[in-house]
Amino acid sequence: MAAKNVTWQFHIKGVVQGVGFRPFVYKAAKELNLRGWVRNSSAGVDIVASGEEQCLIDLLARLKSNPPPLAKIDHIEQSQIDFLDFSDFEIKESKVIPGEFIPISPDIAICKDCKEELFDPQDHRYRYPFINCTNCGPRLTIIQDIPYDRPKTTMSHFPMCDFCKNEYDEPANRRFHAQPVACEDCGPQIWFQDLSGEKTLHEEGLQKAREFLKQGKIIAVKGLGGFHLACDASNPSAVENLRNRKKRSQKPFAVMAFSIQILEKYCDIKAPEKELILSKEKPIVIVNQNENNNLPEHVAPGRHTIGVMLPYTPLHLLLLEPEQDFPDLFIMTSGNISEEPITYSNIDSFDRLGDIADGFLLHDREIYLRVDDSVAATSVDEKPYLFRRARGYAPQALTLPMGSHMDLAVGAELKNTFCLAKRDYAFMSHHIGDLKNYETFQAFIQGIGHYSRLFNIHPQRVVCDLHPEYLSTKYAAEYANQNKIPLIQVQHHHAHLASCLADNQFFKDEPVIGIIFDGTGYGTDGNIWGGEVLLGNTRNYERVFHLEEMPLPGGDLAVMNPNRIAIAYLLKLGLPLDNRLSVINKTDQSEISLIKKQIAANINTPVNSSMGRLFDAVASLIGVRQNISYEAQAAIELEQCIQKNIKDTYHLQLDNSIIQLKSLFEEILEDIFKDTPQKIIAAKFHNSIVDLVLQLAKNISKQRGVKRVALSGGVWQNLYLLRKTIPLLRANGFSVFFHQQVPANDGGISLGQTAIIRSMNTKAR
C-alpha cells in the first residue's frame, strides 16, 4: 500500500546556528527518505520537506527528542502546505530577514570526538591546538558581527585549506559549516616567547612552555576568552611567587588538571559536582579539598574548599598532558593584576603580565570579546549554582514572558552584568566585573554595543538601580537622555527577588516571600539595605521585615575593616567592650575611641540593615578576621571555619518589622567568655540564620497565607546556609525558589531589572 506524500514546513527558533543543526536535519531527512531543503535564516532555521506523513512525524520527533548537543530549541512551528515535488534534500543558502535575530551559542569545551582526534597520531589534526567541530570550540569570543559566518569572526584571516574546506562543505561531516574549523596547514598557530623576546614555534614552543611549568616558573597562557597565569600548584615557591607578583594577597587560586582522576587525588568530589566539572560548559567548580592533599597554603589560604576545572581547549589539554616527572595539578588563574579585567590580546599581555610571567604561550587567533571562566558549585537537588556566569553559559538566552518592548538593563556596579531583552528572550551578558575599574567600565560600554548588534536589539527603555552613585546608573541616565527613551529605576533587593523568580520562571501575580540577604544595596529611604524580607513578585513588593538598623562608622572604611563594624554594633546594642574580646585586643585604643566619637557625633556613619555586615561583625568578634583584602572575605572565612556536626543555635527576636540583634550578640558574647571554640560559635551563628529564615517564613505565612519562599542576594553564596535552609523550609511545607541559571549575587541583578520592567509593561497595558 503506497502512502500519500505530503509537504510540511518547519520554523525552528533557539540556538540552532553554528551548532551542527543543518547537517543533523540533512542526515535525518535522508534517512527518512524526505525531499526538500533546510536553511538558516536570521530568525532561526527553516525546513520544507516532502515525503510520507509518518516520516515527517518522525522528523519532528527527532528534532524534539534528539537535537545536536549544543542546540537549544525554544520553539518549533510546523504546518502542512500544498504538496511540493522535490528530487532531493539539500542545504540552501542562508536567508537574511531584516530586524530578526537568533541566539548565539556560548564557547563550548572541546568535545570527546575532537579530543580523540587530538591524540590520534593517524589523524590529520593530531596535536593541533585549535581542533574543533560543530559541537565544540569558540563562538561568542570570536564573533565580530552577524550573521555568524566565518568572515564575521576573528577566523576571517585564515583561509581554509582544501582538506578543511571539504569537511566544511560536506553536509554529512561533523565540521560542516563549523566556522572556526582549521588545521595545522591553514589555521592559527602557537608559539612560546620568553622574557628576552625569543620565540619558539609550534610543538617545540609547547614543549618549552611545559619545561617552564616543570621548572616551577610562571607562564601566561592565551586561552579562549583571555589569558591565564599558570604554574605548578604543588610547588610552594612557584605559588608564592605568583601570589606576590599578582598582588593577590589572599584570594584563592583555581586549579586545573588533565583529568578528573587527577582532581580526585586532591579533592573530595561528589557525584553531582563531578557531573558539573565534566559538563560541556566546564566551569570552575568549588569542591572540598582532601584533608591531606599537601597543597601549599598559598593556593587557597584559609580554605578547605578549592575551585577546580578541566582543560576546555585543545591547547590546555596539550599543555597539561601527563608525563613522567611532570607536575599534575596547575594553578590556572585569570591573567590580570588583582582586580583588573583579564588580559586578552598578545600586545597587552606583555605590558600587563610582563612583571608576573616568566614566559608566554601565545597564538594568533584574536580574542574579540574577553570572557572569564565561570565559577559554580552545586546547591541541592544536584543542581548547578553559579557564582560567576561567563564562559560556557553566556550568552545563552533566558526566557521571559512575551513583551512588546526592547529593553536594556544595566545591572549593579560590582560583579556587573547587563541584560538586553526582546520578545520572550533575555540575553544576560557574561560577567563584566567591577565598573569602578576604568577598563572594566569600557568593557561594559563596548559589551552593550556588541550585544545590541549581535541580537539586533535597539532598546526602547532602560532600567537601572536606585543607587545614584553606581556608574551603571549614571550610564543609564545618559543613555536614556541621548536616545530619548524612558529611564526606570528599581530597588536593588527587589531586583534580587525578581532575578530569583525569573531564574525559576515564576511570573505569576501572587506574592512570594523574598529572603534577600545581601551585602549592600540602596534603599528607598536612602539607607543601606541588605537584610531584607520582601513580600512581592516581579511587579511590586513590600518590605515586611529587615535587620535592625546599625551604624557603619566610616562607611566603606568599615566594610574593609570588620573590626569597626563589630565595635560599632556592640556600642549600639549597649554591650560591653570587654578586653577578653579578640576584636578589642586587635584594635588599638585610639581607633576605638575614634569609632565611639564618630558614632556619637554621627560623622560619616550611615545606618545599614545589611546581612553581609552582620556576618562581618560576627567574624571580627570571634577573631576570624579584622581587615579584608577582597569582597566578603570575612564572611567567607567565617563559613570556612564551621564545625559541621553542631546543631545548637542563638536566637533572634522579631519585633514588628524589625529583626532584633541584641539577644544574638549577648549569646555570642556569653560563648566567647566561656571559651567556646571559634568553629562552634561560627556553626551556631550560621544555624541561627537558618532558623531565622524559617521563623520569618512561618510568621509571614501565618499572617498572609503565602507558602512560597525565594532566596537571593550575595549572602546566599554561602553554601552551608543554602544547603541547610532549603530542606528545612521544605520540611515545613514551603516551596523554595533558589538560583540555578544566574548568580544569587549582584551578577543576577540585570535579569531581575529586566523581569521587573517587563511586568510593569504588561500591567500598564
> Which C-beta is closer to Zn ion: that of 183 or that of 219?
183
Asked whether position 584 contacts Zn ion by CB under 5 A, the answer is: no
Give the nearest distance from C-beta 26 to Zn ion in angstroms. 18
Asked whether position 109 contacts Zn ion by CB under 5 A, the answer is: no
Give the nearest distance from C-beta 19 to Zn ion in angstroms. 11
Asked whether position 315 contacts Zn ion by CB under 5 A, the answer is: no
User: Residue 44: which H helix or E strand, with range?
Assistant: strand 44-52
Give the nearest distance from C-beta 167 to Zn ion in angstroms. 9
Give the nearest distance from C-beta 663 to Zn ion in angstroms. 59
Quote the cell numbers at residue 738: 533558589
Residues 179-198 interacting with Zn ion (rule: CB under 5 A): 183, 185-186
Interface residue with Zn ion among 111, 309, 412, 628 (CB under 5 A) is: 111
> Which C-beta is closer to Zn ion: that of 111 or that of 642?
111
Give the nearest distance from C-beta 159 to Zn ion in angstroms. 9
> Which C-beta is closer to Zn ion: that of 183 or that of 641?
183
> Which C-beta is closer to Zn ion: that of 160 or that of 568?
160
> Which C-beta is closer to Zn ion: that of 133 or that of 287?
133
Asked whether position 267 contacts Zn ion by CB under 5 A, the answer is: no
Give the nearest distance from C-beta 158 to Zn ion in angstroms. 8
> Which C-beta is closer to Zn ion: that of 133 or that of 213?
133
Burial class, 416, CB count within 10 angstroms (exposed 0-12 / middle 13-18 / buried 19+) = buried
Asked whether position 318 contacts Zn ion by CB under 5 A, the answer is: no
Asked whether position 115 contacts Zn ion by CB under 5 A, the answer is: no
Applying CB under 5 A, the span of 82-90, 112-120, 223-231, 742-750 interacting with Zn ion comes to 112-120
Q: How far, in Å, are 511, 517, 540 from residue 534 at the CA level?
A: 9, 11, 10
Applying CB under 5 A, the span of 129-137, 207-215, 238-246, 565-573 interacting with Zn ion comes to 129-137
Burial class, 272, CB count within 10 angstroms (exposed 0-12 / middle 13-18 / buried 19+) = middle
Asked whether position 317 contacts Zn ion by CB under 5 A, the answer is: no
> Which C-beta is closer to Zn ion: that of 76 or that of 111?
111
> Rounded to 10 degrees, what is the CA torsion of 621, 625, 629, 632?
-60
Asked whether position 224 contacts Zn ion by CB under 5 A, the answer is: no
Give the nearest distance from C-beta 178 to Zn ion in angstroms. 8
Q: Say which amino acid occupies 106.
A: P
Give the nearest distance from C-beta 390 to Zn ion in angstroms. 21
Asked whether position 607 contacts Zn ion by CB under 5 A, the answer is: no
Give the nearest distance from C-beta 183 to Zn ion in angstroms. 3
> Which C-beta is closer to Zn ion: that of 161 or that of 658?
161
The Cα 138–Cα 320 span in angstroms is 20
Asked whether position 146 contacts Zn ion by CB under 5 A, the answer is: no
Interface residue with Zn ion among 12, 47, 76, 133 (CB under 5 A) is: 133
208 Cβ neighbours under 8 A, 6+ residues apart: 192, 194, 200, 359
Residues 522-561 interacting with Zn ion (rule: CB under 5 A): none
> Which C-beta is closer to Zn ion: that of 183 or that of 682?
183
Asked whether position 435 contacts Zn ion by CB under 5 A, the answer is: no
Asked whether position 114 contacts Zn ion by CB under 5 A, the answer is: yes
Give the nearest distance from C-beta 156 to Zn ion in angstroms. 15
Q: Is the CB of residue 392 less than 8 Å from the CB of residue 109?
A: yes
Nearest to 432 by CA among 441, 420, 423: 441
Q: Say which amino acid occupies 385.
A: Y
Give the nearest distance from C-beta 129 to Zn ion in angstroms. 13
Asked whether position 124 contacts Zn ion by CB under 5 A, the answer is: no
Asked whether position 332 contacts Zn ion by CB under 5 A, the answer is: no
Q: Is the CB of residue 581 less than 8 Å from the CB of residue 672?
A: yes
> Which C-beta is closer to Zn ion: that of 131 or that of 558?
131
Q: Is the CB of residue 558 less than 8 Å from the CB of residue 571?
A: no
Give the nearest distance from C-beta 311 to Zn ion in angstroms. 14
For cell 540533512, name the residue: 26
The residues facing 671 across adjacent strands are none
Number of H helices, E strands in the chain: 23, 32
Residue 61 sits at φ, ψ, to 5 deg, of -65, -40
Q: Is the CB of residue 68 less than 8 Å from the CB of residue 121?
A: no
Give the nearest distance from C-beta 161 to Zn ion in angstroms. 4
Size of the site for Zn ion (CB under 5 A): 10
Nearest to 12 by CA among 27, 30, 24: 24
Asked whether position 136 contacts Zn ion by CB under 5 A, the answer is: yes
72 Cβ neighbours under 8 A, 6+ residues apart: 14, 15, 16, 103, 396
Edge-first strand order for the sheet with 425-428 is 398-399, 425-428, 419-422, 407-409, 461-465, 487-490
Quote the cell numbers at residue 398: 533566558
> Which C-beta is closer to Zn ion: that of 102 or that of 136?
136
The Cα 655–Cα 650 span in angstroms is 17
694 Cβ neighbours under 8 A, 6+ residues apart: 725, 728, 729, 732
Edge-first strand order for the sheet with 72-81 is 72-81, 5-15, 44-52, 35-41, 89-91
Nearest to 372 by CA among 350, 347, 412, 341: 341
> Which C-beta is closer to Zn ion: that of 164 or that of 500?
164
Give the nearest distance from C-beta 69 to Zn ion in angstroms. 10
482 Cβ neighbours under 8 A, 6+ residues apart: none
Applying CB under 5 A, the span of 126-134, 230-238, 409-417, 569-577 interacting with Zn ion comes to 126-134
> Which C-beta is closer to Zn ion: that of 14 or that of 138?
138
Applying CB under 5 A, the span of 128-136, 142-150, 615-623, 724-732 interacting with Zn ion comes to 128-136
Residues 155-174 interacting with Zn ion (rule: CB under 5 A): 161, 164
> Which C-beta is closer to Zn ion: that of 108 or that of 755?
108
Residues that bind Zn ion (CB under 5 A): 111, 114, 133, 135-136, 161, 164, 183, 185-186
